[in-house]
Chains A and B, each alone.
Chain A
């Protein structure tokens, strides 16, 4: 087997006295959609934050174990900003920056040093199209991002995450504020996007994981219960807990 894209080795995270992840080891392969499911408080978001080191912002967090991207330990990376440009992240709360829609999407490319206007125009249009927002905002790109509706802001967040063409895209509950029809269309886009990037999808919608993901991991109470191909998790899980969760018997 080729080297996995993201590899967690015995990852343990504690917020003060509270353990959020306990000894999680996981391999996420290149250019697949990898879903992480599990009940609330099981450490799904914490796992994502370890990948792009936004866990650093939580002063009380203590991280043990390693996360490797292409074999490189993220904690050894000198330029953490470059790491975050390589790992796009969408959090469940829709956050439009207090800038125009255009500048929201152009924000990261500008900060990364892209000045050319036509290049920025192209990035903005592509990303907004992929986030299924282009048709709704193409005539008012100078509108404030914070004035959009919740679902639109959520798609704006997605467009922003895509704006640097990251090699890894982490989606944390990206669809809770988005209507089902648009969600389906974004899911189609994600299936296309996995040709160019690895997608890590944290979701509470078990069926979304089943529809989308190539692989699925099930977390419960800070521990990895099992990870396998999605089909296996949903039809022949090895763990009784997984079976009950995917069948909606608890969670």
Chain B
């Protein structure tokens, strides 16, 4: 009995659910009062005793189907919104905590001073410069190879076993843990240069960055529709002419974004530089132009990520504030670089050409 009327209600809901839309779609004023009655009749014809009287009186009252639909809509919205918040929450929590803890030392002098008194005082200038040099040199090495290799893989290489093997290699290289990269760096680059150095550490970071740069380059290139390339080839343009005039100008933003994101990853890594070039401490000039170029290529250097690790584990009697200060500088650097990348992407999207 109950089940029968339930089904009838559902049918009524289906019929009635469609009707208001139909009324809006073009039925004239005089027709619409008639239609609820027709629908009601059809319901009682179909299922005898089912009386959706409320629906007959008010054609706009929600049917069971609509109520279910609305309920699911609310649940979905709430669930998705909650998940989105959970993405942001850890970032905000970490940032707030770090900034509060480090507040007393934060200031421009913390950035510009070298560590003093066995690293229990002073700032982070030496590690900051070290990180800058490591990242810059690793990018100079990895970006050209990565971008050009990505262009080759995406635009020239056919779909054969050799290409697939290279693609597989790139994917696996991206999955290699960073400490393994570090050990590889010891075996390959440190052995080559004789001792841990800026150059060896940069080379190790470059090897680690390569697969990411290749992958993001390929993604950026494949976002340019194939139809554009075919249109060019149809007019007798060579592959390189097509790449130079159409593909690259329209994917350079995506390529740059990928490279910039890789900067922040390389800046934050400790394991690859641990044995290849990063030092616990190095005395560097405090003033003058030498303070901007404190390291030579075949000497070790300090680096922010390494410095943070050292402060936290190796130094006796260092205040919490300095440790957290170093962490804020590192995370601030990451956020700043990422903001540049996001800003660049927004700018390029605003002038997207198709």
Query: A residues touching B (Cβ–Cβ < 8 Å)?
Result: 52, 54, 57, 59, 81-85, 88-89, 91, 93, 95-99, 107-108, 111-112, 144, 146, 157, 160-161, 163-164
Assuming the A-B contacts A59-B159, A98-B250, A144-B353, are A52 and B237 also in contact, with contact meaning beta carbons closer than 8 angstroms in the complex? no
Q: For A160, what are the chain B residues with a Cβ–Cβ distance below 8 Å?
A: 231, 235
Closest 8 CB pairs of A and B: A98-B353, A85-B236, A108-B235, A84-B236, A146-B354, A81-B236, A111-B237, A89-B234
Nearest chain-A residue to B235 (Cβ)? Answer: A108
Give Cα A83 to B235, complex, Å.
Answer: 9
User: Does B241 reach chain A (CB closer than 8 Å)?
Assistant: yes
Chain B contact residue count (CB 8 A cutoff): 20
Q: Shortest CB–CB separation between residue A159 and chain B, in angstroms?
A: 11
Interface string of B121-164 (1 = CB under 8 A from A): 00000000000000000000000000000000000001100000
Q: For A89, what are the chain B residues with a Cβ–Cβ distance below 8 Å?
A: 234
Assuming the A-B contacts A95-B228, A97-B246, A98-B246, are A54 and B354 also in contact, with contact meaning beta carbons closer than 8 angstroms in the complex? no
Assuming the A-B contacts A95-B228, A144-B353, are A108 and B158 also in contact, with contact meaning beta carbons closer than 8 angstroms in the complex? no
Known contacts A97-B228, A98-B228, A163-B235, then 13 further A-B pairs from the complex at CB < 8 Å, ordered by chain A residue:
A54-B233, A54-B234, A81-B238, A83-B236, A84-B234, A84-B236, A91-B231, A97-B246, A98-B246, A107-B245, A108-B237, A111-B236, A146-B353
User: Does B230 reach chain A (CB closer than 8 Å)?
Assistant: yes
Query: B residues touching A (Cβ–Cβ < 8 Å)?
Result: 158-159, 227-228, 230-238, 241, 245-246, 249-250, 353-354
Q: Shortest CB–CB separation between residue B246 and chain A, in angstroms?
A: 6
Q: For B227, what are the chain A residues with a Cβ–Cβ distance below 8 Å?
A: 93, 95
Q: Which of A57, A93, A144, A161 has a CB less than 8 Å from the CB of B235?
A: A161
Assuming the A-B contacts A81-B237, A107-B245, A108-B237, are A97 and B232 also in contact, with contact meaning beta carbons closer than 8 angstroms in the complex? yes
Q: Shortest CB–CB separation between residue B185 and chain A, in angstroms?
A: 39
Nearest chain-A residue to B354 (Cβ)? Answer: A146
Give Cα A59 to B226, complex, Å.
Answer: 14
Nearest chain-A residue to B237 (Cβ)? Answer: A111
Q: Shortest CB–CB separation between residue A124 and chain B, in angstroms?
A: 14
CB pair B235 A84 closer than 8 Å: yes
Q: Shortest CB–CB separation between residue A197 and chain B, in angstroms?
A: 15
Q: For B245, what are the chain A residues with a Cβ–Cβ distance below 8 Å?
A: 99, 107, 111
Assuming the A-B contacts A98-B250, A98-B354, are A52 and B234 also in contact, with contact meaning beta carbons closer than 8 angstroms in the complex? yes
Q: Shortest CB–CB separation between residue B322 and chain A, in angstroms?
A: 52
Q: Which of B159, B230, B237 has a CB less than 8 Å from the CB of A107?
A: B237
Q: Shortest CB–CB separation between residue A161 and chain B, in angstroms?
A: 7
CB pair A59 B234 closer than 8 Å: no
Nearest chain-A residue to B231 (Cβ)? Answer: A95
Q: For A97, what are the chain B residues with a Cβ–Cβ distance below 8 Å?
A: 228, 231-232, 246
Q: Which of B158, B233, B353 has a CB less than 8 Å from the CB of A59?
A: B158
Nearest chain-A residue to B234 (Cβ)? Answer: A89
Q: Which of A57, A95, A96, A108 has a CB less than 8 Å from the CB of B236?
A: A108
Q: For A93, what are the chain B residues with a Cβ–Cβ distance below 8 Å?
A: 227
Chain B CB count within 10 A is highest, among A81, A88, A164, for: A81
Chain A CB count within 10 A is highest, among B159, B236, B238, B245, for: B236
Give Cα A4 to B249, complex, Å.
Answer: 42
Q: List 29 A-B contacts (CB under 8 A).
A: A54-B230, A54-B233, A57-B230, A57-B233, A81-B238, A84-B234, A89-B234, A91-B231, A91-B234, A96-B354, A97-B228, A97-B231, A98-B228, A98-B249, A98-B250, A98-B354, A99-B246, A107-B232, A107-B235, A107-B237, A107-B245, A108-B235, A111-B235, A111-B245, A112-B236, A144-B353, A146-B354, A160-B235, A161-B234
Nearest chain-A residue to B351 (Cβ)? Answer: A144
Q: For B250, what are the chain A residues with a Cβ–Cβ distance below 8 Å?
A: 98
Give Cα A146 to B159, complex, Å.
Answer: 30
Q: For B230, what are the chain A residues with a Cβ–Cβ distance below 8 Å?
A: 54, 57, 91
CB pair B236 A164 closer than 8 Å: yes
Chain B CB count within 10 A is highest, among A91, A107, A157, A161, for: A107
Q: Shortest CB–CB separation between residue A52 and chain B, in angstroms?
A: 7
Nearest chain-A residue to B158 (Cβ)? Answer: A59
Q: Shortest CB–CB separation between residue A19 and chain B, in angstroms?
A: 22
